Amino acid sequence: MIHRVLITGAAGGIGRRLRLLLRGAYPMIRLSDRVSVGALAPGESEIVADLADTAQVEQAVDGVEGIVHLGGISGEDDWPNILESNIVGTYNLFEAARRHGVKRVVFASSNHAVGFYRRRRRIGTELPVRPDTRYGLSKAFGEGLGALYADKHGLRVLAIRIGNFGDVPIDKRRLSIWIHPEDLAQLVRIGLDHPELRYEIVYGASENERGWWDNAAAFRLGYRPRHRSEDHRDAALEAQAELPPDPVGDLFQGGSFAAMEFTGDPEGRGG
């Protein structure tokens, strides 16, 4: 059983919610980000660390058994920033985990690792990655890094391709990819606790009737989402009607991320 957990990126939007939802599930939770997370609850500790700084990452990882890796840039950015935070930083995290004997890592991947699949297609986790941005590429790198450390060093890794995290889906696309915070917390706990986990990629999605993803791997591990996107259908579709069309983004699962800097022929793109 995991007792000591590190959450990186704990000051971010997902980190703040997971911190509350995981409170009490593990005796000690260490919170880390480049800035302070603020007041601490019983059982919590804090260490300010930059993922690009190897020594700081080593200090953050020392003594923990499981890591929930949310840290890094959470959207598209220039290549030098993505490289430092999401690629070098994620490598530093996994390497420190290996050196310190960490048992498990839950890696916050993203739907943008496969954002160039078309919306008409239902996909599982066995297909090749098709990132829609430099950000999505960095998440595909993190998935591959997790596989390497699982296969070569025995680290147990769950990569969660998070859809849209929030209390409700806010438009038509989100009806297909939404995940409620409580459902994401359930997946994180599977990653930290499931006895048979070795390496797995799952989709971070609630029960979405319009979903594009086959999440059989998550269900096999015992995932049972509690929240349904269709319960919020009317409000989401009403909000969608106020949005302008996106000739590129509306074709692909990655939405506006696929449309960023796009210079190709959308009709000629497969998937």
pLDDT of 270 higher than 60: no
Please state, in angstroms and rounded to a whole number, the distance separating the CA atoms of residues 129 and 125: 9
202-252 tens-digit pLDDT: 999 999 999 999 999 999 999 999 999 999 999 999 999 999 999 999 999
Which of 26, 91, 117, 135 is the catalytic position?
135
Give 75-122 as a DSSP string: S---HHHHIIIIIIHHHHHHHHHHHTT--EEEEEEEGGGGTTSBTT--
pLDDT of 271 higher than 80: no
pLDDT score for 269: 60
CA-wise closest residue to 66 among 175, 158, 178: 158
Percent of the chain with pLDDT over 90: 97
In the residue annotation, 203 being an active-site residue is answered as no
CATH superfamily of 4-268: NAD(P)-binding Rossmann-like Domain (3.40.50.720)
pLDDT of 167 higher than 60: yes
Which pLDDT band, with edges at 50, 70 and 90, does 132 fall under?
very high
Residues contacting 22, CB < 8 A, separation 6+: 5, 7, 29, 68, 185, 188, 189
pLDDT of 61 higher than 90: yes
134-165 tens-digit pLDDT: 999 999 999 999 999 999 999 999 999 999 99
14-33 tens-digit pLDDT: 999 999 999 999 999 999 99
**CA separation, residue 129 to residues 14, 132, 133, 144 (Å):** 23, 10, 12, 10
168-198 tens-digit pLDDT: 999 999 999 999 999 999 999 999 999 999 9
Please state, in angstroms and rounded to a whole number, the distance separating the CA atoms of residues 174 and 111: 12
Domain boundaries, the chain: 4-268
